[in-house]
Protein backbone atom coordinates (compact mmCIF):
# COMPACT_ATOMS: atom_id res chain seq x y z
CA UNK A 1 0.00 0.00 0.00
CA UNK A 2 1.42 3.35 -0.96
CA UNK A 3 1.53 5.77 1.97
CA UNK A 4 -0.71 8.74 1.35
CA UNK A 5 0.00 12.33 2.19
CA UNK A 6 -1.25 13.52 5.53
CA UNK A 7 -1.34 17.21 4.71
CA UNK A 8 -4.85 18.45 4.06
CA UNK A 9 -5.67 20.93 1.33
CA UNK A 10 -6.02 23.69 3.90
CA UNK A 11 -3.05 22.97 6.07
CA UNK A 12 -0.17 25.15 5.11
CA UNK A 13 3.31 23.99 5.78
CA UNK A 14 5.62 26.70 7.09
CA UNK A 15 7.79 25.80 4.12
CA UNK A 16 5.18 26.47 1.47
CA UNK A 17 7.39 25.07 -1.23
CA UNK A 18 6.78 21.62 0.20
CA UNK A 19 3.11 22.20 0.73
CA UNK A 20 2.44 22.87 -2.91
CA UNK A 21 4.55 20.02 -4.08
CA UNK A 22 3.23 17.37 -1.74
CA UNK A 23 -0.33 18.34 -2.36
CA UNK A 24 0.13 18.09 -6.10
CA UNK A 25 1.76 14.69 -5.76
CA UNK A 26 -0.98 13.37 -3.52
CA UNK A 27 -3.64 14.01 -6.10
CA UNK A 28 -2.16 11.54 -8.53
CA UNK A 29 -0.90 8.52 -6.67
CA UNK A 30 0.87 6.04 -8.91
CA UNK A 31 2.19 2.55 -8.48
CA UNK A 32 5.39 2.15 -6.54
CA UNK A 33 8.12 0.32 -8.36
CA UNK A 34 7.29 1.26 -11.95
CA UNK A 35 10.39 1.55 -14.04
CA UNK A 36 11.02 5.14 -14.95
CA UNK A 37 12.94 6.52 -17.86
CA UNK A 38 14.62 9.66 -16.60
CA UNK A 39 15.70 12.36 -18.99
CA UNK A 40 18.25 13.93 -16.72
CA UNK A 41 21.10 13.44 -19.14
CA UNK A 42 19.31 13.45 -22.44
CA UNK A 43 20.01 17.09 -23.15
CA UNK A 44 23.72 16.72 -22.76
CA UNK A 45 25.29 13.40 -23.32
CA UNK A 46 22.84 10.51 -23.35
CA UNK A 47 24.15 8.19 -25.99
CA UNK A 48 21.00 6.13 -26.08
CA UNK A 49 23.18 3.27 -24.98
CA UNK A 50 21.93 1.79 -21.72
CA UNK A 51 25.24 0.05 -21.03
CA UNK A 52 26.84 3.39 -20.16
CA UNK A 53 27.32 4.41 -16.57
CA UNK A 54 26.37 8.08 -16.47
CA UNK A 55 27.65 10.14 -13.58
CA UNK A 56 26.67 13.65 -12.58
CA UNK A 57 27.98 15.55 -9.59
CA UNK A 58 25.31 17.75 -8.03
CA UNK A 59 27.43 18.87 -5.09
CA UNK A 60 31.19 18.76 -4.56
CA UNK A 61 31.77 21.13 -1.66
CA UNK A 62 32.91 19.74 1.67
CA UNK A 63 31.95 20.59 5.23
CA UNK A 64 29.24 23.17 4.54
CA UNK A 65 27.62 24.90 1.59
CA UNK A 66 29.07 28.19 0.39
CA UNK A 67 28.05 30.89 -2.05
CA UNK A 68 29.13 34.25 -3.33
CA UNK A 69 32.06 35.69 -5.16
CA UNK A 70 34.73 33.12 -5.86
CA UNK A 71 32.45 30.11 -5.99
CA UNK A 72 31.00 30.46 -9.50
CA UNK A 73 33.08 27.83 -11.25
CA UNK A 74 33.19 25.00 -8.73
CA UNK A 75 29.91 25.66 -6.95
CA UNK A 76 28.87 25.64 -3.34
CA UNK A 77 26.55 22.67 -2.79
CA UNK A 78 27.66 19.81 -0.60
CA UNK A 79 28.10 16.20 -1.63
CA UNK A 80 25.67 14.50 -3.96
CA UNK A 81 26.56 12.25 -6.87
CA UNK A 82 24.02 10.71 -9.27
CA UNK A 83 24.80 7.55 -11.23
CA UNK A 84 22.49 6.18 -13.90
CA UNK A 85 22.65 2.92 -15.82
CA UNK A 86 19.58 2.60 -18.00
CA UNK A 87 16.64 2.52 -15.62
CA UNK A 88 18.78 2.07 -12.51
CA UNK A 89 19.16 5.29 -10.57
CA UNK A 90 21.68 5.54 -7.78
CA UNK A 91 22.43 8.57 -5.61
CA UNK A 92 25.41 8.81 -3.30
CA UNK A 93 24.79 11.18 -0.39
CA UNK A 94 22.20 13.84 0.22
CA UNK A 95 24.19 17.00 0.73
CA UNK A 96 22.59 20.20 -0.48
CA UNK A 97 23.30 19.17 -4.08
CA UNK A 98 20.50 16.60 -3.91
CA UNK A 99 17.99 19.46 -4.07
CA UNK A 100 19.18 20.21 -7.61
CA UNK A 101 19.02 16.52 -8.54
CA UNK A 102 15.44 16.45 -7.31
CA UNK A 103 14.56 19.43 -9.48
CA UNK A 104 16.08 17.71 -12.52
CA UNK A 105 14.20 14.49 -11.80
CA UNK A 106 10.96 16.42 -11.52
CA UNK A 107 11.49 17.58 -15.11
CA UNK A 108 11.83 13.95 -16.20
CA UNK A 109 9.11 11.32 -16.48
CA UNK A 110 9.50 10.39 -12.81
CA UNK A 111 6.47 12.32 -11.48
CA UNK A 112 4.26 10.71 -14.14
CA UNK A 113 5.61 7.16 -14.17
CA UNK A 114 7.07 6.77 -10.70
CA UNK A 115 10.07 4.58 -10.14
CA UNK A 116 12.83 3.39 -7.87
CA UNK A 117 15.72 5.48 -6.59
CA UNK A 118 18.58 3.99 -4.58
CA UNK A 119 20.13 6.47 -2.13
CA UNK A 120 23.43 5.36 -0.60
CA UNK A 121 24.98 7.25 2.30
CA UNK A 122 28.73 7.35 2.84
CA UNK A 123 28.07 8.63 6.38
CA UNK A 124 25.80 11.08 8.12
CA UNK A 125 27.81 14.21 8.79
CA UNK A 126 25.73 17.30 8.02
CA UNK A 127 27.26 18.00 4.65
CA UNK A 128 26.11 14.57 3.45
CA UNK A 129 22.52 14.56 4.73
CA UNK A 130 21.27 18.12 4.97
CA UNK A 131 19.74 18.25 1.49
CA UNK A 132 17.48 15.26 2.12
CA UNK A 133 14.46 17.26 3.39
CA UNK A 134 14.58 19.21 0.11
CA UNK A 135 14.72 16.19 -2.22
CA UNK A 136 11.37 16.57 -3.95
CA UNK A 137 11.05 13.00 -5.33
CA UNK A 138 10.97 11.78 -1.72
CA UNK A 139 7.55 13.45 -1.51
CA UNK A 140 6.07 11.55 -4.47
CA UNK A 141 3.83 8.61 -3.52
CA UNK A 142 4.74 6.76 -6.71
CA UNK A 143 8.45 6.80 -5.94
CA UNK A 144 10.07 3.90 -4.08
CA UNK A 145 13.11 5.23 -2.28
CA UNK A 146 15.63 2.64 -1.11
CA UNK A 147 17.93 4.16 1.51
CA UNK A 148 21.21 2.48 2.44
CA UNK A 149 23.49 3.30 5.34
CA UNK A 150 25.38 1.94 8.29
CA UNK A 151 24.07 1.62 11.84
CA UNK A 152 26.54 3.17 14.27
CA UNK A 153 26.90 2.88 18.01
CA UNK A 154 28.02 6.24 19.38
CA UNK A 155 28.13 7.98 22.78
CA UNK A 156 24.92 9.85 23.58
CA UNK A 157 24.76 13.20 25.34
CA UNK A 158 25.09 11.42 28.69
CA UNK A 159 27.92 9.26 27.34
CA UNK A 160 25.73 6.14 27.29
CA UNK A 161 26.09 4.25 24.04
CA UNK A 162 23.30 4.81 21.54
CA UNK A 163 22.51 2.99 18.31
CA UNK A 164 21.80 5.20 15.33
CA UNK A 165 20.49 3.66 12.12
CA UNK A 166 20.30 5.65 8.90
CA UNK A 167 16.51 5.76 9.39
CA UNK A 168 16.82 7.24 12.88
CA UNK A 169 19.44 9.74 11.78
CA UNK A 170 17.33 11.08 8.93
CA UNK A 171 14.22 11.21 11.12
CA UNK A 172 16.04 13.11 13.86
CA UNK A 173 17.40 15.63 11.35
CA UNK A 174 13.76 16.48 10.63
CA UNK A 175 12.66 16.54 14.26
CA UNK A 176 10.22 19.41 14.69
CA UNK A 177 12.81 21.29 16.74
CA UNK A 178 15.06 21.46 13.69
CA UNK A 179 12.73 21.44 10.70
CA UNK A 180 8.99 21.88 10.23
CA UNK A 181 8.39 18.92 7.91
CA UNK A 182 9.05 15.48 9.41
CA UNK A 183 10.00 12.46 7.33
CA UNK A 184 6.50 11.06 7.91
CA UNK A 185 5.24 13.72 5.53
CA UNK A 186 7.57 12.53 2.77
CA UNK A 187 5.08 10.39 0.89
CA UNK A 188 7.42 8.19 -1.11
CA UNK A 189 7.50 4.51 -0.30
CA UNK A 190 10.71 4.16 1.70
CA UNK A 191 12.74 1.04 2.47
CA UNK A 192 15.77 1.35 4.74
CA UNK A 193 18.68 -1.03 4.21
CA UNK A 194 21.35 -1.56 6.85
CA UNK A 195 24.72 -2.06 5.21
CA UNK A 196 28.26 -2.62 6.46
CA UNK A 197 31.76 -2.28 4.99
CA UNK A 198 31.42 -5.93 3.94
CA UNK A 199 28.16 -5.45 2.05
CA UNK A 200 27.77 -6.39 -1.61
CA UNK A 201 24.78 -5.03 -3.50
CA UNK A 202 23.39 -5.58 -6.95
CA UNK A 203 21.14 -2.75 -8.09
CA UNK A 204 19.87 -3.38 -11.59
CA UNK A 205 22.97 -4.01 -13.66
CA UNK A 206 25.29 -2.32 -11.16
CA UNK A 207 27.34 -4.33 -8.69
CA UNK A 208 28.40 -2.37 -5.62
CA UNK A 209 30.96 -3.17 -2.95
CA UNK A 210 31.73 -1.19 0.19
CA UNK A 211 34.87 -0.30 2.09
CA UNK A 212 35.45 1.43 5.45
CA UNK A 213 37.35 4.73 5.31
CA UNK A 214 39.40 6.42 8.03
CA UNK A 215 37.27 9.39 9.19
CA UNK A 216 35.62 10.45 12.48
CA UNK A 217 32.85 7.86 13.05
CA UNK A 218 34.06 6.20 9.78
CA UNK A 219 32.77 6.43 6.25
CA UNK A 220 31.84 3.99 3.50
CA UNK A 221 33.51 4.11 0.10
CA UNK A 222 31.60 2.56 -2.78
CA UNK A 223 32.85 0.76 -5.87
CA UNK A 224 30.27 0.57 -8.65
CA UNK A 225 30.83 -1.81 -11.54
CA UNK A 226 28.81 -2.38 -14.68
CA UNK A 227 29.62 -3.74 -18.12
CA UNK A 228 33.34 -3.77 -17.49
CA UNK A 229 33.47 -0.19 -16.18
CA UNK A 230 34.15 0.82 -12.60
CA UNK A 231 33.64 3.96 -10.54
CA UNK A 232 34.95 4.34 -6.99
CA UNK A 233 33.56 7.04 -4.73
CA UNK A 234 35.69 7.68 -1.65
CA UNK A 235 35.05 10.87 0.23
CA UNK A 236 35.67 11.95 3.77
CA UNK A 237 38.84 9.99 4.30
CA UNK A 238 42.12 10.83 5.97
CA UNK A 239 45.14 9.12 4.48
CA UNK A 240 47.69 7.07 6.36
CA UNK A 241 49.94 4.26 5.16
CA UNK A 242 47.33 1.55 5.62
CA UNK A 243 44.59 3.64 4.03
CA UNK A 244 46.70 4.42 0.96
CA UNK A 245 47.51 0.77 0.46
CA UNK A 246 44.06 -0.64 1.17
CA UNK A 247 42.25 1.97 -0.87
CA UNK A 248 44.57 1.42 -3.82
CA UNK A 249 43.56 -2.26 -3.67
CA UNK A 250 39.86 -1.41 -3.37
CA UNK A 251 40.15 0.97 -6.34
CA UNK A 252 42.40 -1.33 -8.36
CA UNK A 253 42.14 -0.68 -12.11
CA UNK A 254 39.07 1.52 -11.67
CA UNK A 255 38.16 3.83 -14.51
CA UNK A 256 37.49 6.68 -12.09
CA UNK A 257 38.32 7.38 -8.48
CA UNK A 258 36.39 10.25 -6.91
CA UNK A 259 38.41 11.19 -3.84
CA UNK A 260 38.44 13.69 -0.95
CA UNK A 261 41.03 16.30 -1.93
CA UNK A 262 40.01 18.91 0.63
CA UNK A 263 43.50 20.17 1.48
CA UNK A 264 46.83 20.86 -0.11
CA UNK A 265 49.63 18.95 1.54
CA UNK A 266 50.95 22.22 3.00
CA UNK A 267 47.58 22.97 4.60
CA UNK A 268 47.23 19.42 5.86
CA UNK A 269 50.63 19.31 7.47
CA UNK A 270 50.31 22.82 8.93
CA UNK A 271 47.06 22.35 10.83
CA UNK A 272 44.69 19.70 9.50
CA UNK A 273 46.13 16.40 10.68
CA UNK A 274 43.36 14.44 12.38
CA UNK A 275 40.55 16.43 10.74
CA UNK A 276 39.47 13.44 8.63
CA UNK A 277 40.29 14.66 5.14
CA UNK A 278 42.97 14.18 2.54
CA UNK A 279 45.03 15.73 -0.25
CA UNK A 280 45.37 15.41 -4.00
CA UNK A 281 48.88 14.09 -3.53
CA UNK A 282 47.43 11.15 -1.60
CA UNK A 283 44.77 10.66 -4.25
CA UNK A 284 47.41 10.52 -6.95
CA UNK A 285 49.42 8.03 -4.91
CA UNK A 286 46.36 5.78 -4.72
CA UNK A 287 45.73 6.14 -8.45
CA UNK A 288 49.31 5.28 -9.32
CA UNK A 289 49.50 2.30 -6.97
CA UNK A 290 46.10 0.99 -8.02
CA UNK A 291 46.32 1.65 -11.74
CA UNK A 292 43.30 3.97 -11.62
CA UNK A 293 42.75 5.72 -14.94
CA UNK A 294 41.07 8.99 -13.92
CA UNK A 295 40.98 11.04 -10.72
CA UNK A 296 38.00 13.21 -9.83
CA UNK A 297 38.92 15.55 -6.99
CA UNK A 298 35.97 16.36 -4.72
CA UNK A 299 34.96 17.66 -1.27
CA UNK A 300 36.37 21.14 -1.82
CA UNK A 301 37.22 23.12 1.28
CA UNK A 302 34.79 26.03 1.92
CA UNK A 303 37.78 28.39 2.08
CA UNK A 304 38.99 27.36 -1.36
CA UNK A 305 37.62 29.79 -3.91
CA UNK A 306 37.85 29.23 -7.68
CA UNK A 307 41.42 30.57 -8.10
CA UNK A 308 42.70 28.27 -5.36
CA UNK A 309 40.98 25.21 -6.81
CA UNK A 310 42.24 26.05 -10.32
CA UNK A 311 45.79 26.29 -8.97
CA UNK A 312 45.40 22.97 -7.12
CA UNK A 313 44.07 21.36 -10.29
CA UNK A 314 47.01 22.65 -12.31
CA UNK A 315 49.46 21.31 -9.72
CA UNK A 316 47.70 17.94 -9.62
CA UNK A 317 47.77 17.61 -13.40
CA UNK A 318 51.54 18.00 -13.37
CA UNK A 319 51.71 14.85 -11.25
CA UNK A 320 48.81 13.01 -12.86
CA UNK A 321 47.44 14.39 -16.14
CA UNK A 322 44.13 12.57 -15.72
CA UNK A 323 43.32 14.53 -12.54
CA UNK A 324 40.22 16.69 -12.72
CA UNK A 325 38.96 19.12 -10.07
CA UNK A 326 35.23 18.48 -10.24
CA UNK A 327 32.88 21.39 -10.89
CA UNK A 328 29.30 21.24 -9.67
CA UNK A 329 27.08 19.76 -12.44
CA UNK A 330 30.03 17.99 -14.07
CA UNK A 331 28.91 14.95 -16.06
CA UNK A 332 30.98 11.95 -17.03
CA UNK A 333 30.06 8.84 -18.97
CA UNK A 334 31.76 5.47 -18.61
ZN1 LIG B 1 32.02 15.74 4.27
ZN1 LIG C 1 32.48 13.65 7.23
Confidence of residue 5 (pLDDT cuts 50, 70, 90): very low
Question: How many structural domains are present in the chain?
Answer: 1
Tell me, in angstroms, the distance from the centre of ligand 2 to residue 65's CA. Answer: 13
Q: What is the mean pLDDT of residues 54-65?
A: 97
Q: For the chain, what percent of residues have pLDDT higher than 70? A: 85
pLDDT digits (tens, 9 = 90+) for 255-303: 999 999 999 999 999 999 999 999 999 999 999 999 999 999 999 999 9
Tell me, in angstroms, the distance from the centre of ligand 1 to residue 14's CA. Answer: 29
Domain assignment present for 91: yes
Q: What is the reported pLDDT for 61?
A: 98
Confidence of residue 51 (pLDDT cuts 50, 70, 90): confident
pLDDT digits (tens, 9 = 90+) for 159-209: 999 999 999 999 999 999 999 999 999 999 999 999 999 999 999 999 999
Tell me, in angstroms, the distance from the centre of ligand 2 to residue 217's CA. Answer: 8
Average pLDDT along the chain: 89
- Inform me whether the pLDDT recorded for 72 exceeds 80: yes
Q: What is the mean pLDDT of residues 121-150?
A: 98
Tell me, in angstroms, the distance from the centre of ligand 2 to residue 214's CA. Answer: 10
Residues, CB-to-ion distance under 5 Å, ligand 2: 125, 236
Domain assignment present for 22: no
Residue-number span of the structural domain to which 164 is assigned: 53-327
Strands 115-120 and 161-164: unpaired
Q: How far is 191 from 209, CA to CA, in rounded Å?
A: 19
Q: What is the mean pLDDT of residues 148-153?
A: 98
CA angle 220, 226, 228 (to 5 degrees): 115
Domain assignment present for 15: no
The helix/strand/coil state of 183 is helix
CATH number of the domain enclosing 175: 3.60.15.10
Question: Which phi and psi (to 5°) does residue 233 adopt?
Answer: -115, 115
- Inform me whether the pLDDT recorded for 27 exceeds 60: no
Q: What is the reported pLDDT for 265?
A: 94
Q: Which residue has the higher pLDDT, 211 or 12?
A: 211
Domain assignment present for 205: yes
Which residues pair with residue 91 across a beta bridge? 82, 119
Domain assignment present for 7: no
Q: How far is 138 from 152, CA to CA, in rounded Å?
A: 24
Q: What is the reported pLDDT for 40?
A: 57
Q: What is the reported pLDDT for 48?
A: 47
The helix/strand/coil state of 81 is strand
Q: What is the reported pLDDT for 57?
A: 98
Q: What is the reported pLDDT for 8?
A: 41
Which residues pair with residue 90 across a beta bridge? 83, 118
Q: In what order do the strands lie in the sheet with 256-260?
A: 200-203, 206-213, 219-226, 229-234, 256-260, 294-298, 323-325
Domain assignment present for 48: no
Tell me, in angstroms, the distance from the centre of ligand 1 to residue 234's CA. Answer: 11
Which one of the ligands is nearest to 62 CA?
Answer: 1
Full DSSP string of 246-266:
HHHHHTTT-SEEEEE--B-HH
Q: Which residue has the higher pLDDT, 24 or 203?
A: 203
Q: What is the mean pLDDT of residues 206-222?
A: 97
Q: What is the reported pLDDT for 47?
A: 44
Q: What is the mean pLDDT of residues 38-48?
A: 44
Q: What is the mean pLDDT of residues 120-146?
A: 98
Burial of 300 (0-12, 13-18, 19+ CB in 10 A): buried
Q: What is the mean pLDDT of residues 132-158?
A: 97
Q: What is the reported pLDDT for 19?
A: 45
Q: Euclidean distance between the first and final Cα of the chain, in Å?
A: 37
Tell me, in angstroms, the distance from the centre of ligand 1 to residue 264's CA. Answer: 16
Domain assignment present for 3: no
pLDDT digits (tens, 9 = 90+) for 95-114: 999 999 999 999 999 999 99
Please check whether residue 84 is in contact with residue 231, taking contact to mean a CB–CB distance below 8 angstroms: no
Q: How many residues does the chain have?
A: 334
Domain assignment present for 153: yes
Amino acid sequence: MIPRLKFSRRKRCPVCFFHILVFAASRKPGVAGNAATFNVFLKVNDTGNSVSLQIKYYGVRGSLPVSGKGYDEFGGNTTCCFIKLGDTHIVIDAGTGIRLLGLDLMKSELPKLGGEIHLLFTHTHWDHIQGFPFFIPAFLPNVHLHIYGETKTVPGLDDTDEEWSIERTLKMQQHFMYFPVGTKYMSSNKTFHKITPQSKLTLGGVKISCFALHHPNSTLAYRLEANGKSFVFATDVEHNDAMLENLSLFAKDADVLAYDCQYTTAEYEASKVGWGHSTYESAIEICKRGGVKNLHMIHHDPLHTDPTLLAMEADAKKLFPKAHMVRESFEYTL
